[in-house]
Amino acid sequence: MVIKKAIFAGGCFWGVEYYFSKEEGVVKAVSGFTGGRVKNPTYDDVCYKDTGHVEAVEVTYDSDLTNFEILAKLFFSIHDPTQVDRQGPDVGVQYASAVFYLDDEQKEIALRLIDELKDKGFDVVTKVRRAGVFYSADESHQKYYEKKDGKPYCHVFVKRF
């Protein structure tokens, strides 16, 4: 088993976490924040203050069972990568679409997939940024839909690849 990580931001982290947690090969999906300049931000900080952070999910996966490209394709299929700073009814800079790459291979794959989507006519706004510190959200934001026995309202799977 070779464990790797990936970080995706695609709107409200609850829906993103929901889909990744069900994906084969994913060991763990954690809701949190990244991309900003404030250390140890809280949910309220990110939602109501100018922290620069986005809601994101850190995905830990077994690379013997899945890979970054499969996960990135899922990411682009569970949120609308053409929406600027929003997903569905959730609006704000904290809901931006971004791939936070951990190495050059992840960067290259993300950029290639964006190019593929653009070739298909999608006006993709997803940013590709070097990963920085990922801050886990507090426990009340982890496995949200599992705890509520519900399904995401801002995220639906749309086959794009």
Task: Please write the tens of the pLDDT for every residue from 123-144.
Answer: 999 999 999 999 999 888 888 7
Instruction: Give how far Cα 80 sits from Cα of 15, 24, 76, 110, 119, Å.
Output: 12, 22, 7, 15, 16
State the pLDDT at residue 52.
Answer: 95
pLDDT in tens, 17-37: 999 999 999 999 999 999 999
Q: How many CA atoms lie within 13 A of 31 on its CB side?
A: 26
Known catalytic residue: 154?
A: no
Which residue out of 6, 12, 30, 124 is catalytically annotated?
12
Global model pTM greater than 0.75: yes
In sign, the C-alpha dihedral spanning 118, 120, 121, 125 is negative
Structure tokens at 72: 């990135």
**CATH code of the region 3-143:** 3.30.1060.10
